[in-house]
Structure 1
Amino acid sequence: MKTSLWFKQIQTIVPILVGTAIYAFGLLYFIIPNHLMEGGVTGITVLLNYAFEISPSISTLVLNIPLFLVGFKILGARQSIYTGIGIAALTLFLWLFETLIDRGWIIPFQTEHDYILASLYAGVTLGAGLGIVFRFGGTTGGSDIIARILNRKFGFSMGQIILTLDVIIIGLSLIYIELEQILYTLVAVFIAARVIDFIQEGAYAAKAFTIISDHAPEIADRITVEMERGVTLIPAIGVYSKRAKHMAYCVVSRHEIRRLTGIAKSVDPRAFIIINDVNDVHGEGFREE
């Protein structure tokens, strides 16, 4: 039992370490060499590097320690443990990549003309790193801790808090960075947000069918036999007709959409079909845990 628990913990911690490593690499390889920016507390570390040449690994640790302690007291140990791991891992990997860059073992990507390429790659690497960390329940500290505390205490939306902090920090960066670099930063932030969503929601896209019909059981039987997909029948009552009926609910892959629609319409041409996007599916016939 203990072995199984430890194995599950390792399955969570290792991806968080991988994610923070990717994030730290993107920050030092693409963001800082091209004088781009980043939001949140990480943005403050970037500004301190630009203004005073303070090591990002040092400023990340110094800024996050008090935030972590406050968060630990207010949010509790359970919500803080993976945050602490994320902060420690980010600090470690920032220091490691700084050392490799200083020794010339890694040459950062620096450009004077094609900043769009730098911002695109920065967005992909930062988004991939954070997406992996978030998907496994971790954070890199900073704004996320502030957002959780304000959300717990005052009920503010975490998204709104993080966005407000990002706007303030990126706005302050105009003191040290040209407006052109800020605009390229917005490209990187947009790409990072899309990559984070892609990783968190899952790369596998499917479709969920809700079929409302007087012949729903027959439709369900044909889907089960002909497509070998599981179907759930949900009892329902039509408000207008006051008649009892069933809804058939089924999730299929994208290439099966036309086939399932054809089965439903062949049984009941008047069937009411609702199709929704499904970004992640776990279970038999799809991705197994």
Structure 2
Amino acid sequence: MKFKNSYKIYFLDLLMKIPWIISGAIMAAISLEVILIPNGLIDGGITGVSMILSEILGYSLSVLLFILNIPFVLLGYIFLGKRFAFTTSLGITVLTISTGILEVFPPFLKGNSILLIFIGALLLGMGIGIVIRNGGALDGTDVLALLISDKTSYTVGESIFAINIFIFLFAFILFGWKGALISIITYFIATTIVDIVRT
């Protein structure tokens, strides 16, 4: 009886978190496809790598997001458990589907204004933070950052930012110093928001 009750509580808790994970993933997708990408900005992590490859090779961002994140979902399964692997798979799947849908529509928010960039960073940080707070992740580097955060004194946001320095070096080559610099500032704001939301 005690086992059944604990299983029921576990299941209900997971069920309560699923809508938040879906919402966070959609927020991140809107930030990427509606604000960041149309304005020549780049995200960090596997998402950033996917954006670079999409720009260079012309492949769909949503497809690259899904494929490149698979090894990190497996890593999460090994070190963080089945539940984390499930919630992360859910987040990445929703992110993939959402970006795929938004890719179809032409960009309508362009201009590189400071306010627009701040809104994009805010949406991205909130989306990632909400998903992490509810036991999942949206990006392979989020998984690494959670592992680093568990073993060191670095926060998840600090770990994410440190891991992604090399991504922005590629952004410098691809988008020039201005695009790379604005991307770094945007991502710094986003990772700061991640730490605020998840705690």
TM-score, normalized by the shorter chain, greater than 0.5: yes
Contact 2:172 2:179 in 1 (8 A): no
| Correspondent of 1:58 among 51, 55, 63 | 63
Contact 2:160 2:191 in 1 (8 A): no
Equivalent residue runs for 1:1-289 within 5 Å = 1=5, 5-99=10-104, 101=105, 107-111=107-111, 114-148=112-146, 155=151, 157=154, 159=156, 161-201=159-199
**Identity rate of aligned residues, in percent?**
28
Q: Alpha-carbon deviation of 1:199? A: 2.6
Quick one: distance in 2 between partners of 1:148 and 1:128?
16
Structure with greater contact order relative to length (CA < 8 Å, sep ≥ 6): 2
Q: Alpha-carbon deviation of 1:161? A: 4.6
- Structure number with higher strand proportion: 1
Quick one: distance in 1 between partners of 2:60 and 2:51?
9
In structure 2, stretches of 5+ residues that fail to align are none
| Farther off after superposition, 88-97 or 71-80 | 71-80
Quick one: distance in 2 between partners of 1:189 and 1:133?
17
Equivalent position amino acid for 1:30 in 2? I
Q: Secondary structure at the residue paired with 1:172?
A: helix
Q: Secondary structure at the residue paired with 1:58?
A: helix
| Farther off after superposition, 68-77 or 176-185 | 68-77
Q: Alpha-carbon deviation of 1:6? A: 4.1
Aligned to 1:228: none
Contact 1:28 1:108 in 2 (8 A): no
Quick one: distance in 1 between partners of 2:60 and 2:143?
22
Runs of 4+ residues over 6 Å off in structure 1: none
In structure 1, stretches of 5+ residues that fail to align are 202-289
Quick one: distance in 2 between partners of 1:16 and 1:87?
10
Contact 1:115 1:184 in 2 (8 A): no
Closer/same/farther in 2, CA of residues 75 and 198 from structure 1, 3 Å limit: closer
Q: Secondary structure at the residue paired with 1:129?
A: helix
TM-score (norm 1): 0.59
- Size of the aligned set, in residue pairs, is 192
Query: Considering only CA atoms, is the larger Rg found in Structure 1 or Structure 2?
Result: 1
Contact 1:86 1:140 in 2 (8 A): yes
Quick one: distance in 2 between partners of 1:150 and 1:195?
18
TM-score (norm 2): 0.83
Q: Alpha-carbon deviation of 1:150? A: 6.1
Quick one: distance in 1 between partners of 2:139 and 2:36?
19
Quick one: distance in 2 between partners of 1:66 and 1:191?
27
- Structure number with higher helix proportion: 2
Closer/same/farther in 2, CA of residues 198 and 73 from structure 1, 3 Å limit: closer
Q: Secondary structure at the residue paired with 1:176?
A: helix
Quick one: distance in 1 between partners of 2:11 and 2:83?
16
| Farther off after superposition, 85-94 or 159-168 | 159-168
